[in-house]
Chains A and B, each alone.
Chain A
Amino acid sequence: MINGKHLKPRDMGKPADQLTKIDRLMPLPGPFDKLDTAPEFKEPKEEWREKYCTTLDGFIAIDTLKRPETKEEEEEFVRKFLQGLGKMLSEETNRGIIQPLKLSIEYCAKCNTCSEACHIFQSTEGHELYRPIYRSEVLRKIVKKYFTKSGRLLGGLVGADIDLNWETVARLGELSYRCNLCRRCAQTCPLGLDNGLLAREIRKIFSQELGIAPKALHEKGTELQLKTGSSTGLTKPAFLDIIEFLEEDLEEKTGKKIKIPIDKEGADILLIHNAGEYMSWPENPMAFAILFEEAGLDWTLSSDLLGYDNVNYGLFYDDGQAKKIALKQFEAARKLGVKRIVLGECGHAHKAAVVTADRMTYGANKVPVESFLPILRDIIKDNRLKLDPSKNNFPVTLHDPCNVVRQMGIVKPQRDILKAVAPQFWEMTPHGVYNYCCGGGSGFAIMNSFNFPEWRKNVSVRMKVKQILEVFQDTLEDASIPKYICAPCSNCKGSMRDILEHYQLTAKYNVQYAGIVELVVNALADLDRPFFEFLEE
């Protein structure tokens, strides 16, 4: 096993039961400053070692990547990987990304400026495996060795010094799932290169060529969504039942009798939520219904296939799946004849539908898409809601979803909203476009196979835990004061749920979390009792 400080990119192909391990974690501020920063992760089980790839850092993210049983299968796997790599580099098969990809492959000066920007590298006290360019450099070495003349002729002299075998490829696949694709590193690159893009391209080769992707993203993600309408498996009849339940619950909770519009043809707005909200955080779609009705918007939900779930996990690992889902979501909107799609609190759905899908088709196939945030900001600005911000008189901080801020430039509306409804709003450091990922980005929040959650809860979320502890440092230990993390994204909320549970921040320190619409509803002047359960006596 190679120590984290001594690991080199060319070591990826070396035979070892486990290439390296995490030996240190970033210290956290009080009250966690006494925690041992030398982690004791459980060893992967023997049966996992035999069947899956545990030879990177001991963790398994890709639960469909199984060890071959014969030498021939091993060779075939490597051959297919190289075939996929060739397709990645070809204008014929990878047109939609070829220019940015080739730039990022060609120009890295290895100046390491990006390292400090990465929350995973920082959380492991600079473990070499998680340096943003480590993964990129392994990929470059393979590209150089097999796809360039200089690499074939000069080998190690030009950096083409890596052994390619099943272990190298499998470890590289695993390593592509140790990056949240937050692209914070790309903000600092003096040459404008993008390690997140390269990590996603590796995931693409695995999915698009080898047919290998984490079950949570593919089989129980995009495939399930295309089949049933939602990655949660929520079918149309079940969705309609849930809406009825929401209406009843909403009335019970707020005294407001609201008929949630479904399949209203020709409505101005088709509101699409992350379907995970209906299952895990039903107060969120309830709050949307209250606000949109109070503001008098002409809106509807859709019960059509893919019309009631805005997620698009294709964004994380597969261009084809991303396109299929995005186009079907447009189709659901076109069928209803709505004027625009408005996305609820889901960061990656924002990016997928507004930014990524923007160039997937054209003309009449498209429907304008926008975030709910500017609409809500305008509703509040126009005084269409009667608000009493003193109802939210507790410390509130905002977690910025990377896809909404860094990758879309929606920064100010959510702050305008919070300033109107939360008198004790505190920014995290850093925030806005320079925020840190919640640690659950790019699918991690829903990937729960084997020991991957252990890695996530200790490593990828760590920087966010640090930020939360820092922003609430003055009131943290006073459990009589609720502290609220506003995370306007389902995926980020999943990560917050993990954080608060794992570090016992709710149980011990009364740290709460939810979205932004719930805060606005809680501030509605005409509500007799709090919308948040944690505020009820």
Chain B
Amino acid sequence: MLLLIFSYFALLSFIFLSLYKAVQYARMPVHGRLDLYPIPKEKGKAEYGGSYMEESGWWRKKHEISFAGELKEMLQEMLFIKRLFEHQKSLWWLSYALHLGIYLLIGWTILIFTGAGFELVGVAVPSSGGLARLIYYLTILTGAAGAVLTAFGSAALLFKRLVMPSFKKYTSAQEYFNLLFIFSTVVSGINVWQQDVGFNYGREMARSLLTFQPIQADAALTVHIILLGLLLIYIPLTKMSHYAGKYFTFHKVLWDNAPNLPGSKVEKKIQEGSQFKPKITWSAPHWQTTDEKK
């Protein structure tokens, strides 16, 4: 029962702490513009890095925005780490192995719970055939590929950081630990998996989670559950939570070129922000007059 409670606690912590982080960033005051081109939402101009400011009298014209353009760029960055691919391919192979591995393991988790759901309604996986069989084999495929890629990626990145001076001098003990933590968790998972290649234990555990029944786990599975749970709690507390931060850095900072026009949402935020009166200010002599205080 303790494992069940711990699993729920870890999962909820991951969700809650990640959301908390995102909300903290979202609540920060509107910032000055830091446009950095190319901005993919600039319709008809993004390809060469242009913007609405290429038009005379731009404030009188409609700002043509392509949400599809922004979405495409965001997906390329999220799914394929486009910038790393373009600017540092040697590292991309390792980093992408890790990230693709994690994506596959997320897919595996969904398949595990889907399979468990099937079993709960009386459809045996895989012996009922059809969709159940498909789920069974997809689970094996995503689980195996995900685990191998994640283990390889985390180990390779750890090794690269340990041996390459330009990486080593910027890496703290905590950053080595982060990679080692991921690697150890995946290896503990592989250790469980090699005893049951069809991931039947995974569906059994998922059934326990879905029905609030105690998880039946041997020593190897217990170690894996504890490591995975701790990792889920730990990730949002570290910079590994960049899955939340990246939305803000691109969408809300570098690509936020919305002008402050009369009647616009930006103007409303600026108006509201202007009501804020700081209690303290900077100490330099030229800051001791009223109009530069922000």
Using a CB–CB distance below 8 Å, which chain A residues touch chain B? 5-6, 8-9, 80, 83-84, 87, 91-93, 95-100, 102-104, 106-113, 115-117, 128, 131, 133, 137, 150, 154, 156-159, 161, 183, 186-194, 197, 207-211, 218, 223, 318-321, 323-324, 327, 340, 354-356, 358-363, 366, 368, 370-371, 373-375, 378, 405-413, 432-434
* Shortest beta-carbon distance from A66 to chain B in Å: 15
Q: A91-B29, A111-B95 are in contact. Are A406 and B36 (CB under 8 A)?
A: yes
Contacts of A370 in B (CB 8 A): 53, 56-58
* Shortest beta-carbon distance from B255 to chain A in Å: 9
A110 and B36 within 8 A (CB): no
Using a CB–CB distance below 8 Å, which chain B residues touch chain A? 25, 28-39, 42, 45, 48-59, 77, 81-84, 86-88, 91, 95, 165-167, 169-175, 239, 242, 245-246, 248-250, 252-254, 257, 259-260, 262, 266-267, 270-271, 273-274, 276, 278-287, 291-294
3 tightest CB-CB pairs across the interface, nearest first? Answer: A409-B51, A320-B292, A192-B249
Residue of A nearest to B281 (CB): A93
Partner of B166, one of A80, A97, A112, A366: A112
Q: A409-B51, A411-B49 are in contact. Are A93 and B36 (CB under 8 A)?
A: no
Q: A93-B278, A358-B260 are in contact. Are A113 and B245 (CB under 8 A)?
A: no
Question: Known pairs A9-B169, A363-B267. 4 more at Cβ < 8 A?
Answer: A87-B282, A93-B281, A159-B175, A197-B34
A98 and B31 within 8 A (CB): yes
B172 and A433 within 8 A (CB): no
Partner of A102, one of B28, B56, B77, B81: B28
A190 and B31 within 8 A (CB): no
* Distance between Cα atoms of A98 and B25 in the complex (Å): 9
A433 and B49 within 8 A (CB): yes
Partner of B250, one of A192, A356, A358: A192
* Distance between Cα atoms of A98 and B95 in the complex (Å): 29
* Distance between Cα atoms of A327 and B260 in the complex (Å): 15
B25 and A102 within 8 A (CB): yes
Partner of B170, one of A110, A360, A412, A433: A110
25 CB contacts below 8 A, A to B, read A8-B169, A9-B169, A95-B276, A95-B278, A99-B29, A99-B252, A99-B253, A110-B170, A111-B88, A113-B83, A113-B84, A115-B166, A156-B173, A157-B172, A159-B172, A188-B83, A192-B249, A192-B250, A356-B32, A356-B33, A358-B33, A361-B270, A362-B260, A374-B55, A406-B37
A433 and B54 within 8 A (CB): no
Q: A362-B274, A409-B38, A433-B37 are in contact. Are A84 and B283 (CB under 8 A)?
A: yes
* Shortest beta-carbon distance from A433 to chain B in Å: 3
Partner of B34, one of A109, A156, A194, A371: A194
Residue of A nearest to B45 (CB): A409
* Distance between Cα atoms of A318 and B50 in the complex (Å): 28
Contacts of A190 in B (CB 8 A): 77, 81-84
B35 and A408 within 8 A (CB): yes
B54 and A407 within 8 A (CB): no
B294 and A320 within 8 A (CB): yes
B37 and A409 within 8 A (CB): yes
A432 and B48 within 8 A (CB): yes
